[in-house]
Amino acid sequence: MKILMVGGGGREHALIKKLKESRYAPEIICAPGNGGIACDARCFDVSAEDISGMVKLAKRENVDLVFVAPDNPLADGMVDELEAESVRAFGPTKAAAQIEASKVFAKNLMKKYGIPTAEYEVFDNPQAALEYIKSKNEFPTVIKADGLAFGKGVIIAQSMSEAETAISSLMEDKIFGESGSRIVIEQYITGPEVSVLAFCDGKTVKPMVSSMDFKRVFDGNIGPNTGGMGTISPNPYYTNEIAEICMEKIFVPTVKAMAAEGRPFKGCLYFGLMLTNDGPKVIEYNSRFGDPETQVVMPRLKTDLVDIINAVIDEKLDEIDIKWDNGAAACVVLASGGYPGKFEKGMIIKGLDKSGGAEGVTVYHAGTKLSDGRFLTSSGRVLGITATAPTVEEALEIAYDHIGKISFNGMHFRTDIGKC
Ligand code: AMP
Ligand code: GLY
């Protein structure tokens, strides 16, 4: 069996390491990959967004399966193009990936099918949006670009002047291009946040173990949002009782809604939830595995991932029993100096072994490249250090202990993952 992984971040590295544990012993190739992934899989210089290049690579390499992990190629229809060429692919079609690619689509879906989420209005005219915010006069208020925006399309405005700046930069200056030509204005809600990834085959939904993502760059949950500075699993707020409510009121209704809309969702559906005083509500959907959620969820998976992928594609998810480790996992991200703003690349990383790992922990490479046998930084998020242990506290201790051995110029990380 030969599998092509599309993407090149920490999430893809975690998926590849899990696939390597499969009893089918698949050969894994990856495009574009990164320095650490190159130690686990043969990498090809094809961009994750190059759909025709990826289809060509899949056919040339005669792969049995393509796993499309990142949001952009899913939103652009990579799975549809692969299937049109009779290549088996894991991931939602372009129509189903709209659940992430358009916040307006997602919000309207939730409204139509009674799935709990924050109140909202949609605007394609900046003046009308501003008048609405003025008339409501409730701050903070949440302003979201409709389309994909590198995870930066959500602005929480604390005042009318912040709202004015946000709306003009999204809709007039178009800082995220056409993604901001429509916006959603949403009620600000509060409560602990939970990430739940779920396998879906269009009909059946099987949630994975829960996790918690620490999105802000600095300790104490302050500073700008990032792609995620660390994660823990399980999420301490996500009790069995809440899980049951989510299953009944959110997960099953979402999968049924997508099928009823003629867009059955097959792949991994990510539920970004907020546990409010009125019960769990959906903050966002993603049409893919989360990053760095995958880095704490995959290490806890006991069932063969290849069997699950096949069950998803063949719509037989109801026939498979998915088992999880009862313990815990924690991941701390090591980032380049300046991230999520401007940062330099090409710093030498010290403290990794020849295969890019370190004893006692799993090192997932997010933004590294291999040059003359050395690992260099190549992106904002560089490494994810994951440890597993019976409890989250122990996992964190092990992960932080190892971080002391790894270094590069400008390296920064949060020291309070899992603690606030
Ligand atoms: P997203 O990119 O949609 O995950 O949003 C980024 C972050 O913004 C979320 O993790 C929340 O912390 C926050 N957020 C999004 N929507 C709301 C909302 N309606 N009320 C309060 N916070 C929100
Ligand atoms: N960690 C958040 C995401 O993957 O979107």
Residue among 71, 144, 284 to mutate when testing ligand 1 (max atoms within 8 A of CB) = 284
> What is the C-alpha to C-alpha distance for residues 7 and 229, in angstroms, rounded to an integer?
19
Share of the chain above pLDDT 70, in %: 100
Model pLDDT, residue 339: 96
| Cα(78)–Cα(7) distance, integer angstroms | 12
- DSSP strands (E only) in 74-215: 89-90, 120-123, 141-145, 154-157, 183-187, 193-201, 205-207, 212-213
Element (H, E) at 377: strand 374-377
Ligand 1 atom 18: residue of nearest CA: 188
Does the C-beta of 186 come closer than 6 Å to ligand 1?
yes
Question: Is the CB of 192 inside a 6 Å radius of any atom of ligand 1?
Answer: no
The distance between the two most distant Cα atoms of the chain, rounded to a whole number of Å, is 61
Which of 174, 176, 125, 173 is CA-nearest to residue 149?
A: 176
pLDDT of amino acid 150? 81
Structure tokens at 246: 């989510």
Which atom, in ligand 1's list, is nearest to the CA of 215?
A: 10
Long-range contacts of 161-164 (CB under 8 A, 24+ apart): 163/130, 163/133, 163/139, 164/130
Q: How far is the CA of 295 from the centre of ligand 1 (A)?
A: 21
| CA distance from start to end of the chain | 43
**How do residues 257-286 score in pLDDT, each as one tens digit?**
999 999 999 999 999 999 999 999 999 999
Give the pLDDT of residue 360: 85
pLDDT in tens, 165-180: 999 999 999 999 999 9
- Rounded CA-CA distance 77/125 in Å is 29
Angle at 311 between CA 57 and CA 274, to 5 degrees: 95
